[in-house]
Amino acid sequence: MVSEMTPTRRALAAVLGGRVDYVPPANPLAQTTTELMQICNASWPKAHFDSKMMADLAAAPYEICGIEAARPQFDISLEAEVLGCKLDWNKPDRPPVTGPAYTDPADITWPDNLEEAGRIPVVLGAIEELRKRYDGMLPVIPVLTSPFTVAGHIAGVENLVRWTKTDPEKAHAFIEAATDFVIAYGKLQTAYGAHILFPADPSASGDLISGETYKEFVLPAHKRMAKEISCPLILHICGDTSKLLPYIKQSGIDCFSFDAVPVWYCRQVMGNEMSILGSLDVIDLMPNGTPEQVYNRTRECILQGADIVGTACDVSFGTSLENLRAYVRACKETPIPKYDDVEDIIRQIGVGIGRNMKENVLGGMQK
């Protein structure tokens, strides 16, 4: 019996491969749109420093549009800041790292008491506030910047990627130190009440590194996170990760949130061994599409096998409330396909692609 599930039970069940009453619209990507910020009186940069405002803005997508998740911490630079990097606070929304803080991994340090370090207490306070406010009913899914991206922030992304080829021992040392820190912070988020963690590793994109580099340098860090953090994990990597999928599948992480990979292809590679979250386009569809187009695309994601429907990356400021609500409505109104149906859809799409290639390539050659 899976009727009358709470959003928390629904999201946990979807991430861990259980039964749900509908595919949850539990989007853990940042949704700090202009309209949502105005409605809950949030502003930059205060939302990064005020636990109450952070909690209000994290809950706004649920309160206003019905999106079944609250994601506190809106930037992926907090971890690097605690490790010694400077941030550019002149940016209107999410502050980027201005430059690396270390040249030697042996010099990396962080405060003994992480609960009081930098903006960490702000995030922990927001998690506590959200747990109390919804009595555990709404899943709290804070972001946790992942080791390869943190290592790139504190060492320089170009340096780190170059060292994977020219000085692999140094690259490994930076990533291992970052992994130790990330796991310690993830355990804190879990202890303060996070239901699920959302490790984001954009620097591990298949657009920046090869599958072999992911396997040697990134996969061990993801395996450690899965083993040492008790909270369920949704790993997010941007860009084209098609070559990484066979290795990500080995990470032990519960769910993969993807960007520029077709849903049906991700489902085909992952099978039933890993849940998948994807993937509404945030460049054109969400800010510029009609509610009907968003509804139909959400429905496509479900029919192609997505366990959770979310966006491919952070939602842009101009995305309308109507489009966010259309995405939620489609999740609630689209029947969950049986796995055999998904397999059939994948086969049909494969046949369609093959037929199209034949017509465009072989047909063209015949002419």
Q: Determine if the peptide bond prior to 72 is cis (ω within 30°).
A: no
Report, as an integer, the average pLDDT of 213-232. Answer: 98
Residue 20: strand, helix, or coil: coil
Q: Where are the domains of the chain?
A: 5-335
> How far apart, in whole angstroms, are the C-alpha atoms of residue 119 and residue 77?
10
Average pLDDT, rounded, for the chain: 94
| Strands ordered across the beta sheet of 234-236 | 143-145, 198-200, 234-236, 255-257, 275-277
Tell me: pLDDT of 348 over 80. no
Report, as an integer, the average pLDDT of 277-283. Answer: 95
Burial (CB count <10 Å: 0-12, 13-18, 19+), residue 127: buried
What one-character-per-residue DSSP string does 224-292 give? HHHHH--S-BEEE--S--TTTHHHHTTS--SEEE-SSS-HHHHHHHHTTSSEEE--B-TTTHHHHS-HH
Report, as an integer, the average pLDDT of 1-28. Answer: 91
Tell me: pLDDT of 233 over 90. yes
Contact call for residues 154 and 85 (beta carbons, < 8 A): yes
Residue for token digits 């017509």? 359
Which amino acid type is present at position 49? F
C-alpha 217: how far from chain center: 20
Each residue's pLDDT tens digit, 52-91: 999 999 999 999 999 999 999 999 999 999 999 999 999 8
> How far apart, in whole angstroms, are the C-alpha atoms of residue 142 and residue 24?
17
Please tell me the predicted confidence (pLDDT) of residue 65: 98
Each residue's pLDDT tens digit, 152-171: 999 999 999 999 999 999 99
Q: Where are the alpha helices (DSSP H) in 90-155?
A: 120-134, 147-155
Please tell me the predicted confidence (pLDDT) of residue 366: 44
CA 137 → CA 17, 141, 311, distances in Å? 19, 12, 22
Residue 217 carries which DSSP code? Answer: I
> Does an H or E element contain 175, and which?
helix 168-191
Tell me: pLDDT of 2 over 70. no
Please tell me the predicted confidence (pLDDT) of residue 158: 95
Q: How many residues does the chain have?
A: 367
Tell me: pLDDT of 364 over 50. no
Please tell me the predicted confidence (pLDDT) of residue 357: 60
More confident residue, 344 or 194: 194
Contact call for residues 126 and 107 (beta carbons, < 8 A): no
Tell me: pLDDT of 34 over 60. yes
- DSSP E strand boundaries for the chain: 143-145, 198-200, 234-236, 255-257, 275-277
124 confidence band (pLDDT: 50, 70, 90): very high
Each residue's pLDDT tens digit, 303-340: 999 999 999 999 999 999 999 999 999 999 999 988 77
Please tell me the predicted confidence (pLDDT) of residue 180: 98
CA angle 243, 248, 253 (to 5 degrees): 160
Please tell me the predicted confidence (pLDDT) of residue 361: 53
Tell me: pLDDT of 47 over 50. yes
Tell me: pLDDT of 140 over 80. yes
C-alpha 345: how far from chain center: 26
More confident residue, 102 or 272: 102
Please tell me the predicted confidence (pLDDT) of residue 173: 98
Tell me: pLDDT of 362 over 60. no
Please tell me the predicted confidence (pLDDT) of residue 358: 62
Please tell me the predicted confidence (pLDDT) of residue 352: 74
- DSSP E strand boundaries for 79-209: 143-145, 198-200
Tokens of 130: 């959200």
More confident residue, 188 or 2: 188
Fold for the domain defined by 5-335: TIM Barrel (3.20.20)
